Amino acid sequence: MLESLLAFAGAAVLIALVPGPSTVVIMRQSLRSGRRAGLAAVLGNETGVLLWGVAAAVGLSALLAASRLAYEGLRVAGAVVLVWFGVRALWGARRGGPAAAAAGEDLRVERGGAGAGASGWRSYRLGLVTNFANPKAGVFAVSFLPQFVPEGWPVAAVLVGFSVLWALIDLVWYTAVVWLVGSARRVLGRPVVRRRLDQVSGVVLVGLGVRLAAEVR
């Protein structure tokens, strides 16, 4: 069991390092609303990881992997969500937004004011929805996790345990990302730089959405 656990942990670390839609959303939330919002987005993403793992344990992800209709439906919905996020980022960058209002919102969030709870919940939902918007996560869960289940061990219980470990590894990595973005926020948070980063993140999200929509299974 120890060998399987170490092999899975190593693979999960490598997977966490590969950037994707969740990375873009987490970095953007950290930049726009501070570390607290970034961590909320991370928690939302890891909730999605856990739910995909549980779905794999009970066989729901297998249905997604086997059913073309289910996969295509989730793929199209996920593409729409990613494009929508990207368009919103581009629209926000184009408008520029009142710098004082943005700064005021960020200050309330960092001080734990009235806007902090709303921003944290919004960021959590963004992280969760972004994770759910990727049908590959479900297919990955059902095709990747079972490979590491030792022979003779209860499959469902081990899959849930691996999902928890997967989420914890993700959590450590994305927390480091949030911390790094927060440390550079004074520079990255300047209005001109912020607009450029919004443009970049918007283009990346739209591109990921279009790529997902055009993908042939």
Q: How far apart are the first and last CA of the chain?
A: 34
C-alpha–C-alpha distance, residues 191 and 178, integer Å: 20
pLDDT (tens digit per residue) in 29-88: 888 888 899 999 999 999 998 888 888 777 765 565 566 666 676 667 767 777 877 787
Strand ranges in the chain using DSSP code E only, listed in sequence order: none
Q: Which pLDDT belongs to residue 154?
A: 78
Burial of 167 (0-12, 13-18, 19+ CB in 10 A): buried
Is pTM beyond 0.75? Reply is no
C-alpha–C-alpha distance, residues 175 and 100, integer Å: 28
Taking alpha carbons only, the member of 181, 167, 197 closest to residue 44 is 167
DSSP string, 108-134: HHHTT-HHHHHHHHHHHHHHHHHHHT-
111 — pLDDT class (breaks 50, 70, 90): very low
